[in-house]
Amino acid sequence: MPPQLKDPELVDAFQKKRDQALPLMENPLLLIHIKWDSASLRMFTLDATITRHTALLLNPDGSAHIICQAIEDAGFRPLGEVAELHTYSTVDDFYQTVTSLLPKGSTVMAEVSDELYTLDRLPPHAHRRLSAHLNIISADPLLLELRATKTPAELSLMRRAINATYNTFQALSEEVKPGIKE
């Protein structure tokens, strides 16, 4: 289980990352978790558990929407004060909700990249479905800046994860000896 943040810490972390992004945005940013985990989405949601189709739509005016399946909405409720929460039942509902939040033909930045594998996280089937309604462009410049510059909450989680890893290694290192299989 990942290190947990308290609700006010989650809200503060979201606001700091949003405030970091806004001056760099000309178009809405759409981050989606479908088949592959999205580190870019986790910059905003931090330790929310995501196992199903989930999206974050961040608009240049600072308004934000989180779209998640109803079964996972509890993990996103703390962010309800900084993002409007939308739930869906079926995959078709998911895409309908995402596209209903933007006018048809809108340009949106997403995790599509010819340059960087780690920023190319939008599966082809999702790209096809969304591009029938939206003009999707690469969010590389924005995401590279956001991922390189850590917020205090991100640094805190990194420290906790490092400590947990180090403590686990210390506890197990006495058991691991030459000739013993892992």
pLDDT at 179 over 90: no
pLDDT tens track for 62-97: 999 999 999 988 889 989 999 999 999 999 999 999
Q: How far apart are CA 105 and CA 177, in angstroms?
A: 61
Q: Is position 17 within any domain?
A: yes
Neighbour count for residue 120 (Cβ, 10 Å) = 16
Q: Is position 165 within any domain?
A: yes
Terminus-to-terminus CA distance in the chain, angstroms? 22
Q: Is position 141 within any domain?
A: yes
- Per the structure, how many domains does the chain have? 1
Q: Is position 181 within any domain?
A: no
Mean pLDDT of the chain: 88
Q: Is position 2 within any domain?
A: no
Q: Is position 60 within any domain?
A: yes
Which CATH number goes with the domain that contains 166?
3.40.350.10
Query: What does the DSSP 8-state code read for residue 9?
Result: H
Helices (H), 80-173: 91-100, 124-131, 140-148, 152-173
pLDDT tens track for 111-152: 988 777 666 778 889 999 999 999 999 999 999 999 888 888
Range of the domain at 38: 7-172
SS3 141: helix
Q: Is position 178 within any domain?
A: no
Q: Is position 140 within any domain?
A: yes
pTM: 0.83
In which band, very low, low, confident or very high, does the pLDDT at 110 lie, cut at 50, 70 and 90? very high
pLDDT tens track for 9-53: 889 889 999 999 999 999 999 999 987 777 888 888 876 678 899
